A and B are shown apart, each in its own frame.
Chain A
Amino acid sequence: MLTKLTGGRVYDPAHGINGEIRDIYIRDGRIIAAPGDASPDHEFDLRGKVVMAGAIDMHTHIGGGKVTIARNLLPEDHRGDQAAREGLMRGGCGHAAPSTLTTGYRYAEMGYTTGFEPAVLPVNARQAHHEMADVPLLDVGGYAMLGSDDYFLRLLSSGKSQEEINNYVAWTIHSAQCIGIKVVNPGGISAFKFNQRSLDLDEQHVYYGVTPRKVLQTLARAVHELGVPHPLHVHGSNLGVPGNVETTLNTMAGIEGLPLHLTHIQFHSYGTEGDRKFSSGAARIAEAFNRTKNITMDVGQVLFGQTVTASGDSQRQHANASHANPNKWVCMDIECDAGCGVVPFKYRDKNFVNALQWAIGLEIFLLADDPWRIFLTTDHPNGAPFTSYPHLIKLLTNKSFRNDMLATINPDAAALSTLGSLTREYSLYEIAIMTRAGAAKLLGLKDRGHLGEGAGADITVYTEQEDKEAMFARPDYVFKDGELVVKNGEVVKVVWGNVHTVKPEFDRAAAEKDLKSYFERYLTMKMDNFIIRDQEIENDGRSKIIVHPCGGKA
């Protein structure tokens, strides 16, 4: 079947197309070149509309056990946002930790077609895939967490070679069916299990004797040498600690030029100036970012209201649990592999710290020069639910609106922020980079995030409006792999997405020689039962695994 999208204003930064009027052709779920004389079976008249690839959220907690812990922790949050069965959509709930089905519908309704779970504990990866498989309309993928797992720390502390570590990292990516590697509070989750309550970048882990800096360097090198497109995804040390801007700058500088992705950078950009010993480090972060080309980052923007923070960082989450609102939280130690902490938060615009967090995120967005290296996230649900993205886009594209909002927040925070002096307004082209082309490039998704020939036909069509929040909240059309799934903001067809992975080359026999015995002696399941086989994901006929290429050894 041939479908023609006629005459839309196309924003396709991967091909340098900035608002040009173009026709797009779709056949068998893919974008194709103009087919000559063939007449389309379906045609959509998009004259006057804005056309972009489907949006990609490269950091969103949509799977893995911690989200379901958050669901169980906050029944009152669901009662406040019931999602009734309607048309093709099954019942569920929304807001801070939506049900999986509702997550898929709401992402699609906003024109998103792909999302990546950034904290897949390898031992919990089946759950992450189970939950992501139940997110309709969205392609998914995950980053496997390493860096506080006993096996890795043991390899590192016993002086094993980088090659042996690379083998283990590759084995983990394969076994967890992931597309990248994440490190959370390097070594810190493990340290907490030994009752070490903090672990700075150059501090030694009380048991293994290694430092977070060493963990970061080794994992970043492994990911790089394995040719995994997405650089090591780093949730750094000292999350949320006033003064952590120094740790973050040290992390950037100390990675020896290796590619590194710093996630939810807003939570790592705090100074200690002022009466309250809490200030913005955004300018210093942005300055370092602009000159350090090996660094990419996503923001983790805070927006006001009720949410829940769900993180692998049990050490920092436990330290922050006294701020829980409502006052309840869950932490877990998990299988000598990782941990998690789930702490609800209510960010208030009149609260000094919260208001400054809001301003710091926006400052970083506006001071970062290169939209190809910075990504629009709220670290859903940690900074805010993903449903607030249209509001965030309005803040970034409209300085007048932004300044109106700035006038309403805690005045002390506003006074300490440089936000009011920043006049930058993101263009539609730059928004398309941050939410589509840049994200696909960062992850090595060859067939997503662009509208060129051969791309999967994930396409979003908007009516351009002055109010960008309204525009991005309700696309006219969303196509998923060429099928029309959303029309005028409403789901008209439910399809199931793909699972994006990489499978770097490695020496399986060498990796498993010691791992098999390790599993037998110390863990609670057999190595063969730990590994997630392709058929476990694909057998029910909904999800298909897409393997993206890895480069060779650098």
Chain B
Amino acid sequence: MVETNTRVLENVPSPFCGIASDDLTIQVSGNTLKVLENGDSITVAGFEQPLTDTQPRVAGKDVTLQEAVSAVAGLLKAARLPVFSGFGTDVNDTRAALSLADRSGAVLDQARSEGGLRNLLVLADSGWFATTLGELKNRVEVLVVFGSDIESDFPRFYERFIWPQETLFGQDAGKREIIYIGRAPSGEASTAPDGRKPVVLPCALEDLPAVAAAFNALTHGARLQATHVGGIAVADLAAVLERVKQAHYSVFTWAAGHLAYAHADLTVQQLSAAVVALNAGGLTRSAILPLGGQDGDRTASQVFAWQSGYPTRISYARGYPEYDPYHFSVARLLQSGEADVLIWISTLNARLAPPATHIPTVVIGRSGMRFEREPDVYIPVSTPGIDHAGHMYRCDNVVCLPLHKLRDSNLPTGSAVLAAIEKALEE
């Protein structure tokens, strides 16, 4: 690439990191991107993925876009129960996919919904008291991390929100206290600038439900006869409770994907109930902050919910949206043999590939995807935030970042391809 074509862009938002960092500096040389400042392992991989595939393929052979679109329409016309998944993409692509799924009588399931449902089921059953990253950054005095290793999935979480140089209300962020319950942090990001390590109350994954229940019971004023729960001294849990009661503002956080055990939603519910009780007492303020937002999961959940009424695992098979967190799991429908076409949409993460199945598989995805089994149709499309402008919801479900076009790849957008398929179905 000649030097004159090289540009350096600042304040670039990342659609990859879940916390939507928008302070990246990126060098663009033709179609090659390089993160110069504020990158991390996840954003660098996301932006620097090379542009390779530019031609659609049907049965592994290069075809025109129109031929690929016709092939997908043909598969959908013949299908009895098509399923759409992946959904690692932006708002407009999700809108287009919903429209096509509605017309096709399909089932929709975001690829990361298994983790997301651990939160959504609690929201729909009992609600909660939540907060956002900006409140966290300026207000938190005590952060309780439950059963999760934040920095492995969110490398810049502590740098951006826990240890800022300044806060709005005169708090010295460097004095904040971090308490890990269940799992120790994998790195040093949670270590305070003055060298203080977080408090860690370790326990096994399978003991997290009991620990959460014990903590919630203490919050509600119960006296426990047991001295230890999951190897953690009840006195230590009581000390955590006393500490958050003393704080003006505390936040309980977790990455639901890390709570990978059966009925983890009940654990989330215990923590949410504890926070509700802390606020109800009138002595302090507290809130939860479930983390996620990677691979477009919150974006999909939001668009699904406002257009259909339900956040994920939706079926249009009966002509209206139905929600069932068990029956409309795409993984389950593939395993049971009920699904007969898989439409996989992943425009952000080239590594978010579809499961290898025996049914016809269509991938509308990022250039450079690698497959265990070559899909019946692969249409490489442009990536929001790199090849075209778009929108991305970050983990707190409130802030939506604009994504900017950084280069001219000449790839079609996912939404244009999905709309073309829908049009072909009408013909």
Please give the residue numbers on chain A whose beta carbons come within 8 Å of chain B beta carbons, in ascending order: 65, 67-69, 71-75, 78-79, 82-86, 90-93, 97-101, 121, 123-124, 126-127, 130-131, 134, 150, 192-195, 197, 207, 318, 324, 327-337, 342, 521-526, 528-529, 532-533, 535-536, 539-540
Q: Enumerate chain A residues within 8 angstroms of B308, measured Cβ to Cβ.
A: 91-93, 99
Any A CB within 8 A of the CB of B183:
no
Establish whether residues A130 and B398, one from each chain, have CB atoms under 8 Å apart when the complex forms.
Answer: no
Any A CB within 8 A of the CB of B91:
yes
Establish whether residues B307 and A134, one from each chain, have CB atoms under 8 Å apart when the complex forms.
Answer: yes
Which of these, A93, A127, A134, contacts B400 with CB under 8 Å? A127
Given contacts A79-B323, A532-B402, 19 further A-B contacts (CB under 8 A): A72-B120, A72-B305, A72-B311, A82-B321, A85-B320, A91-B102, A93-B320, A134-B307, A194-B248, A195-B282, A195-B283, A195-B285, A328-B126, A330-B128, A330-B129, A334-B132, A522-B137, A523-B134, A529-B11
Chain A residue at minimum C-beta to C-beta distance from B138: A336
Q: Enumerate chain A residues within 8 angstroms of B78, measured Cβ to Cβ.
A: none
Establish whether residues B132 and A91, one from each chain, have CB atoms under 8 Å apart when the complex forms.
Answer: no
Q: Enumerate chain A residues within 8 angstroms of B6, measured Cβ to Cβ.
A: none
Minimal beta-carbon separation of B255 from chain A (angstroms): 18
Instruction: Mark each residue of chain B from 385 to 396: 1 if its CB lies under 8 Å from any CB of chain A, else 0.
Output: 000010101000
The verdict on A330 contacting B127 (CB below 8 Å), with A130-B400, A193-B249, A525-B20 known, is yes
Q: For the complex, what is the distance from the CA of A529 to the CA of B402, rounded to whole Å?
A: 6
Chain B residue at minimum C-beta to C-beta distance from A518: B168
Q: Enumerate chain B residues within 8 angstroms of A131, measured Cβ to Cβ.
A: 306
Q: For the complex, what is the distance from the CA of A414 to the CA of B51, rounded to whole Å?
A: 72
The verdict on A84 contacting B320 (CB below 8 Å), with A197-B282, A522-B168 known, is yes
Any A CB within 8 A of the CB of B222:
no
Establish whether residues B134 and A123, one from each chain, have CB atoms under 8 Å apart when the complex forms.
Answer: yes
Q: For the complex, what is the distance from the CA of A194 to the CA of B249, rounded to whole Å?
A: 8
Which residues of chain B (190-242) have a CB below 8 Å from chain A?
none
Q: Enumerate chain A residues within 8 angstroms of B168, measured Cβ to Cβ.
A: 150, 336, 522
Establish whether residues B134 and A93, one from each chain, have CB atoms under 8 Å apart when the complex forms.
Answer: no
Any A CB within 8 A of the CB of B74:
no
Which residues of chain B (112-140) have a CB below 8 Å from chain A?
120, 123-135, 137-139
Any A CB within 8 A of the CB of B99:
yes
Q: Enumerate chain A residues within 8 angstroms of B249, measured Cβ to Cβ.
A: 193
Q: Enumerate chain B residues within 8 angstroms of A73, measured Cβ to Cβ.
A: 123-124, 127
Establish whether residues B319 and A124, one from each chain, have CB atoms under 8 Å apart when the complex forms.
Answer: no
Establish whether residues B132 and A93, one from each chain, have CB atoms under 8 Å apart when the complex forms.
Answer: no
- Offer 26 A-B interface pairs, CB within 8 angstroms, sorted by A: A73-B127, A82-B320, A84-B320, A91-B320, A93-B321, A124-B400, A131-B306, A134-B95, A197-B282, A324-B127, A330-B130, A331-B130, A332-B130, A333-B131, A333-B287, A335-B398, A336-B134, A342-B127, A522-B138, A522-B164, A522-B167, A522-B168, A525-B13, A525-B22, A529-B22, A529-B402
Q: Enumerate chain A residues within 8 angstroms of B124, measured Cβ to Cβ.
A: 72-75, 328
Which of these, B127, B391, B399, contacts A524 with CB under 8 Å? B399
Q: For the complex, what is the distance from the CA of A533 to the CA of B404, rounded to whole Å?
A: 12
Q: Enumerate chain A residues within 8 angstroms of B311, measured Cβ to Cβ.
A: 71-72
The verdict on A99 contacting B309 (CB below 8 Å), with A90-B99, A193-B139, A336-B138 known, is yes
Any A CB within 8 A of the CB of B328:
no
Establish whether residues B398 and A78, one from each chain, have CB atoms under 8 Å apart when the complex forms.
Answer: no
Establish whether residues B323 and A78, one from each chain, have CB atoms under 8 Å apart when the complex forms.
Answer: yes
Q: For the complex, what is the distance from the CA of A67 to the CA of B305, rounded to whole Å?
A: 10
Q: For the complex, what is the distance from the CA of A75 to the CA of B312, rounded to whole Å?
A: 11
Which of these, A74, A92, A331, A522, contacts B320 with CB under 8 Å? A92
Establish whether residues B310 and A91, one from each chain, have CB atoms under 8 Å apart when the complex forms.
Answer: no
Minimal beta-carbon separation of B93 from chain A (angstroms): 11
Which of these, A85, A98, A193, A525, contacts B319 with CB under 8 Å? A85
Q: Enumerate chain A residues within 8 angstroms of B92, measured Cβ to Cβ.
A: 540
Chain A residue at minimum C-beta to C-beta distance from B137: A524
